[in-house]
Amino acid sequence: MILQSEKVWLRDAFRPAQVRIQDGKITGVGEYGAEIPDVDYGERYILPGFIDAHTHGHMGVDSSIADGADMEKWRREVPKEGVTAFMATTATESEADNLATFRRLSQTVGKGEGAEVLGIYMEGNFINPACKGAHDETLIAKPNVEQLKRYLEAAGGQIKRMILAVELDEDFQVLQYALSQGVRVSLGHSAAPYETARRAIELGADAITHTYNGMKQLHHREPSLLGVAFTMNEVYTELIGDGHHVSWPAVQMLCRAKDENHLVLVSDASPLKGYDGPLPAGIHIDQQGQFRTDSGALCSSSLRINEGVRNLIRYGGASYVQAIHAATLAPARMLGVDDRKGSIQVGKDADLTVTDENFRVVQCYCRGMGMVEE
């Protein structure tokens, strides 16, 4: 199959080109009009498929309880917002529930059609109760290696990233064990002082979870995790780009502080995103349409990733390069899958998102398969 457009995202710019797809891979990128295409998208954008590195569910599908049919629905529905791959993200649960969730989710990684499940992102339970957000404080656990070992065994090696409040991790034992097992570590739901967080980054942690949210705020004498986000260029910084979790001036500050390779747009989506059924007990929707617990805490988001890209450009002051990278190449690098995802290059997966100039999704190809009914 050959696709073409006057605006294919290649080498950090829109260029006229053709993209050849075969057996789920990009097998050629050539001159516009060189061959008769199967589809000509004209002036519409052909972008690398979007990657959502932090999402808890979709349209009533909850990563914590999802079965095979639920995951199939999730994989089928998210391409409608241009997402071709995502991390199934868990939350703070009891150990028994976590073990069951990890066993179940591990069976879905890399399986099936639609958006690819890249792995499990463990958000609980090793977080700071003082920065718990919507997490259940009664289930939060002090970081410990033995419990992590049980989780990794249950997940069969599919926990690819975890969140850690490093100030509670004695001698950085959990951090170092996780890294030794190939699990990448993000700092989040944390009140870590700047120097503690900086030391964790020096030891190998590489990202900050939903920057600004779930952390001690910046102070001019104690900059905390935010100080690390702003001053350590090599740190990936997740950002929920909906204008509710983070104000637009604060988004603009982060966009200015980070280069085009280390800002990562995430949805942190609630399982209730796109769901039109009754809300569970303890959750309500506020006047701005945001999910909140009865205590008033924001409870994940309803952000669509394609809208997040547009928001970063329109309201966040991001360049096209930074905004598009934030949904494609930056998360691919953060997750260690940039050898096959994140850009339109020969040999990579044929994950492509086609949008109009306002980033409304026209079509989405997951490993070469069109997912949006036209």
Determine phi and psi for 249, rounding to 5 degrees: -60, -40
CB 354 within 8 A of CB 362: yes
- Taking the C-alpha atoms of residue 355 and residue 220, their distance in angstroms, rounded to an integer, is 42
**DSSP sequence for 7-22:** EEEETTEEEEEEEEEE
Q: Which long-range contacts link 312-315 to residues 24+ away (Cβ below 8 Å)?
A: 312/241, 312/251, 312/255, 312/265, 315/243, 315/248, 315/251
CA distances in angstroms from 253 to 256, 262, 303, 317, 327, listed in the order given: 5, 14, 20, 9, 18
- Taking the C-alpha atoms of residue 20 and residue 25, their distance in angstroms, rounded to an integer, is 8
CB 186 within 8 A of CB 161: yes
CA distances in angstroms from 129 to 118, 222, 268, 336, listed in the order given: 29, 20, 19, 30
| Residue 185 CB partners (closer than 8 Å, separation 6+) | 161, 162, 163, 164, 175, 178, 179, 200, 204, 205, 206, 207
CB 121 within 8 A of CB 87: yes
The sign one gets for the Cα dihedral 305, 152, 64, 185 is: negative
**Kind plus residue range of the DSSP H or E element containing 68:** helix 68-77
Tally DSSP H helices, then E strands, for the chain: 10, 20
> If you compute the radius of gyration of the chain from its CA atoms, what whole number of angstroms results?
20
Query: Among all residues, which ones are annotated catalytic?
Result: 268
